[in-house]
Amino acid sequence: MTPPPGLLIYSQRFSAYSYGDFHPFKVQRYRMTFELMRALRLCDPPQVQMRECPLAREEELLRFHRGDYLTALAGFNGSGCGGADFYFGLGDVENPVFEGVYDWARLACGGTLEAVRRVNDGSCRLAFNMAGGWHHAQAARAAGFSYLNDAVVAIKELVRRRKRVAYVDLDAHHGDGVQNAFYDSNRVLTISIHETGRDFFPQTGMVREMGRGKGYGYAVNVPLLPHSDDVILEQALRRVVLPLVTAFKPDLLITQMGADCLRTDPLTRLEGTTGFFELAARSFLRTGLPWVILGGGGYDWLNVARAWSLVWGTALEVPLPDELPEAFQDLLAEQGIRAYRLRDLPHTALPSDFYPAQQSFEKVLEFLERKLFPLHGLQPGEGL
């Protein structure tokens, strides 16, 4: 029997929106990711089913977002609706308002809802919404380029259906919006690996943030020093993420795969490579859990296209070459870009950067093994 297909959610409409010429987030990355996946034959049936991204409905958004915030956001949707509403975090340089801003955010959110529903009902074994992963949005506030928190809205629906969900966030920034939404819940395990918030947006995600009340032990944070490389990222995955996800026994796994932890990202200081993304994708696939993959940050669009194509290829178990396909190289050449490699070359941080980062990680690990692992019946050294 052939396995159920992987669902790839995409829309030509992504390209219709713009945060502005000087904003680091470029919607162009979605089209380039899709073109690279297509050139690598990662969109072909019967293995892959393509699905147009639907718009999330207001009643779905209200499961998490406040009505007055949605009204304010919708008010900026039309053309010529300049201005700002700083109470809701709307209209500053970080979260600009632009024509279609509400439609854009509902589109990204609708894709995640669709992905979660199709994986949850078993019609797909896994799904990828590249336009999802807006992990900073709060119930009544835009933050970190995020207007609607697609993961939270979708997880709320699963929790209503009595499901247990593990949410793993690999973006270089702490997944604060998702953590906050489920801080009191023991039905949702949130794990975030990120660059330490000591001097970095959103200034949260410290190891001591572990949840509250019934949710104590169900929020997990692995803050890393700048320059942490694949060696450290892989330890965080093997020693923290995988043992906890396995012990939690979720009904569904959702991973946010922000590509800004790659070393060539212009906004962050971690030093990961695409090799880490492939390892993470292989590891998540091996859990055997129904799996929803979301996009996230990533401010070098070629990094995003390469990292997410490798994730999707790994998830589909399609062997991929080291080089970019010729058709994609031609597309890059049209834009005056010369690039050949699909995978990054191996990279390690300088010893003077690596050793402090490794020492810091070991302290984080020791704390989590001592304080949090026992709450899940785990022993120190699990995952070695």
Neighbour-count burial of 20, counting CB atoms closer than 10 A to its CB (0-12 exposed, 13-18 middle, 19+ buried): exposed
Q: Minimum distance between the CB of residue 95 and Zn ion, rounded to whole angstroms?
A: 14
Whose CB is nearest to Zn ion? 297
Select 133 or 313, whichever has its Cβ closest to Zn ion.
Answer: 133
> Which region, judged by CB under 5 A, interacts with Zn ion, from 19-27, 29-37, 173-181, 249-257?
173-181
Q: Minimum distance between the CB of residue 4 and Zn ion, rounded to whole angstroms?
A: 31
| Residues 325, 180: Cα–Cα separation, whole Å | 41
| Residues 246, 348: Cα–Cα separation, whole Å | 29
Q: Minimum distance between the CB of residue 238 and Zn ion, rounded to whole angstroms?
A: 22
Q: Which residues of 165-189 are buried (b: 16+ CB within 10 A; e: fewer)?
A: bbbbbbbbbbbbbbbbbbbebbbbb
Select 5 or 296, whichever has its Cβ closest to Zn ion.
Answer: 296
| Residues 331, 364: Cα–Cα separation, whole Å | 44
**Of the listed 65, 135, 136, 194, which one is catalytic?**
136
Select 38 or 174, whichever has its Cβ closest to Zn ion.
Answer: 174
Task: Examine residue 271 and tell whether it contacts Zn ion (CB under 5 A).
Answer: no
> Which region, judged by CB under 5 A, interacts with Zn ion, from 89-97, 295-303, 354-362, 374-382?
295-303
Tokens of 80: 């010529």
Q: Which residues of 303-339 are buried (b: 16+ CB within 10 A; e: fewer)?
A: bbbbbbbbbbbbbbeeebeeebbeebeebbeeeeeee
Q: Minimum distance between the CB of residue 60 and Zn ion, rounded to whole angstroms?
A: 24
Select 223 or 297, whichever has its Cβ closest to Zn ion.
Answer: 297
* Contacts of Zn ion in 350-379 (CB under 5 A): none
Task: Examine residue 265 and tell whether it contacts Zn ion (CB under 5 A).
Answer: no
Task: Examine residue 171 and tell whether it contacts Zn ion (CB under 5 A).
Answer: yes
Neighbour-count burial of 355, counting CB atoms closer than 10 A to its CB (0-12 exposed, 13-18 middle, 19+ buried): exposed
Q: Minimum distance between the CB of residue 369 and Zn ion, rounded to whole angstroms?
A: 27
Task: Examine residue 297 and tell whether it contacts Zn ion (CB under 5 A).
Answer: yes
Q: Are the C-beta atoms of residues 43 and 50 closer than 8 Å to each other?
A: yes
Task: Examine residue 258 and tell whether it contacts Zn ion (CB under 5 A).
Answer: yes
| Residues 192, 316: Cα–Cα separation, whole Å | 24
Residue ranges of the alpha helices (H) in 91-185? 101-120, 150-160, 176-181
Task: Kindly state the number of chain residues that form the binding site for Zn ion, as judged by CB under 5 A.
Answer: 6
Select 180 or 185, whichever has its Cβ closest to Zn ion.
Answer: 180
Tokens of 373: 């692992």
> Which region, judged by CB under 5 A, interacts with Zn ion, from 206-214, 216-224, 296-304, 340-348?
296-304
Say if residue 24 is preceded by a cis peptide, omega within 30 of 0.
Answer: no
Select 5 or 177, whichever has its Cβ closest to Zn ion.
Answer: 177
Select 104 or 373, whichever has its Cβ closest to Zn ion.
Answer: 104
Q: Considering only CA atoms, which of 284, 244, 273 is closest in space to residue 126?
A: 284
Q: Minimum distance between the CB of residue 171 and Zn ion, rounded to whole angstroms?
A: 4
Select 195 or 382, whichever has its Cβ closest to Zn ion.
Answer: 195
**Dihedral, CA atoms, 281, 310, 134, 19, nearest 10 degrees?**
170
For 266, what's the count of Cα atoms within 13 Å in the CB-facing half-sphere?
8
- Chain centroid to CA 119: how far? 17
Task: Examine residue 176 and tell whether it contacts Zn ion (CB under 5 A).
Answer: no
Bridge-based pairing of strands 126-129 and 291-294 is: parallel
Task: Examine residue 173 and tell whether it contacts Zn ion (CB under 5 A).
Answer: yes
> Which region, judged by CB under 5 A, interacts with Zn ion, from 74-82, 161-169, 210-218, 258-266?
258-266
Task: Examine residue 226 and tell whether it contacts Zn ion (CB under 5 A).
Answer: no
Task: Examine residue 290 and tell whether it contacts Zn ion (CB under 5 A).
Answer: no
Q: Minimum distance between the CB of residue 177 and Zn ion, rounded to whole angstroms?
A: 12
Task: Examine residue 215 and tell whether it contacts Zn ion (CB under 5 A).
Answer: no
Task: Examine residue 260 and tell whether it contacts Zn ion (CB under 5 A).
Answer: yes
For 65, what's the count of Cα atoms within 13 Å in the CB-facing half-sphere?
32
**Annotated catalytic residue 194:** no
State the catalytic residues: 136
Binding site for Zn ion (CB under 5 A): 171-173, 258, 260, 297
